[in-house]
Each structure stands twice: as structure tokens, then as C-alpha cells.
A and B are shown apart, each in its own frame.
Chain A
Amino acid sequence: DQQVKQNSPSLSVQEGRISILNCDYTNSMFDYFLWYKKYPAEGPTFLISISSIKDKNEDGRFTVFLNKSAKHLSLHIVPSQPGDSAVYFCAASFSGTYKYIFGTGTRLKVLA
């Protein structure tokens, strides 16, 4: 049973526009969420995280929104740049534990 889902396997966005990547989870006990970016042949790179006590966290061009009632989080990238083209994984965790549950990933392509 996939506890963390990214229902869009791919997304194409024009350079300069907003990219919105979505992630849904089923376990309401998750209280810590992260987004990672992965280029081919490289390990995932941590982007941004959010705890369940917040509904928004911003870091530069990246903003993560958390809707606990809908068990949904999203990553907004504004403005999108060609270098943002990568696979994006969301992950969910219980605070104070070792284990991340990763989503299946969304391949973002930013078109110049």
C-alpha cells in the first residue's frame, strides 16, 4: 500500500512560470514532510521541509504548502528555471524516527 503518492509522473512548464508539484499521503500520523530533487545519476538533494504545525514554508523560489485536512502537500517553484528540470520526490516521516516514506516522484521539465 503506497502511503505517499505523487499522481503526476511528469510535468512540463515554461521557463519563468510557476511549477506546482503535488503529493498526497494516507497516514494522518505523519508530521514531517520533505521535498527532494534528483538529477540523473546523482543522489537526491534536500530542498525544503515542513512540519505539521505549519501550513507553509518558504525558501527562496521554493514554497511548500501543507493541507492536513486533505492530507496533501504541494511544492511551488516560482519562477521556474531550466536547471529545475529533475525528478522531485516528496517524503513523509514521523518526527523523531529514522524512516522516510518516499513518493514515486514527478519528473519536471522546464522548457526554455
Chain B
Amino acid sequence: DTEVTQTPKHLVMGMTNKKSLKCEQHMGHRAMYWYKQKAKKPPELMFVYSYEKLSINESVPSRFSPECPNSSLLNLHLHALQPEDSALYLCASSQDAAGSSYNEQFFGPGTRLTVL
């Protein structure tokens, strides 16, 4: 299995809603990532988990809350988002965050989020 899966594919939420994005991989990868991508822009790193511990938070607002329940799952909890948070949210995984020499990241298809 060489796939990273993400659910849901699309999500529309109001600014007062609480929702969660889910990501799963079964490649035995020990590093998992959340990226945000706006239209016509490159992906921007948000969070990195390495061995189920939060390794990096790229100064992301607290209305985004990541969680890594186990080595295969990564969640992104959303609360009180703003319309400018509308974007494609991408999950990725790699063998290791920093221990290996080279770390190809494998991306999921993304969740298209619209905040009204």
C-alpha cells in the first residue's frame, strides 16, 4: 500500500463550526505532515509529526489543532476558522522526518476546505 488517504474530499464549514480532517497511511512511515495550499501557490508546511510527537509547528494559529493518535493516523481539528483559511489541505508522510538521509514525502489527495 503506497497511498496516503484523506477524508473528507470537500468540506464547507461556517466560522463557528468545529470539524476535523483525517489522514491515514499504511506505509510504515514515521513522519506525517500537514500542508496548506492556496490557489496558484506552492504547498506551505503547517505541522510535522515524527514518531507520533509534534516536531514542528510553523507558527500556525491555534484555531488549527493537529493530533496524531497513532503512527498511521493524523488529524487536523478546526475551530473558529476564517474565510481566508479556505484552501486545499494536504497530508503527507515520509519514512522519517530527519533521521534518514533523504525523505521523499508522499502526499494525499487533499481536502478542499471552504469557510463561509
Interface residues of A (CB under 8 A from B): 32, 34, 36, 41-46, 49, 51, 89, 93, 95-100, 102-105
Contacts and interface: CB of A to CB of B under 8 A. Distances in A.
A6 to B, nearest CB: 9
Contacts of B45: 98-100
Nearest to B48: A98
B20 interface: no
Interface in B12-44: 31, 33, 40-43
A43 B48 contact: no
Range class of the B interface residue count = 20 to 34
Contact of A41 (B55, B103, B110): B110
B103 A98 contact: yes
14 contacts: A32-B102, A41-B110, A42-B110, A43-B107, A44-B90, A46-B104, A49-B102, A93-B103, A98-B48, A98-B50, A98-B56, A99-B48, A104-B42, A105-B42
Interface stretch (B59-67, B70-78, B92-100): B92-100
Interface of B: 4, 6, 31, 33, 40-43, 45, 48, 50, 55-56, 90-92, 94, 97-110, 112
Contacts of A99: 45, 48, 56
Contacts of A95: 101-102
A99 B56 CA distance: 10
A89 B64 CA distance: 26
Nearest to A90: B42
B104 A102 contact: no
Given A43-B4, A43-B90, A96-B98, A103 B42 contact: yes
B109 A43 contact: yes
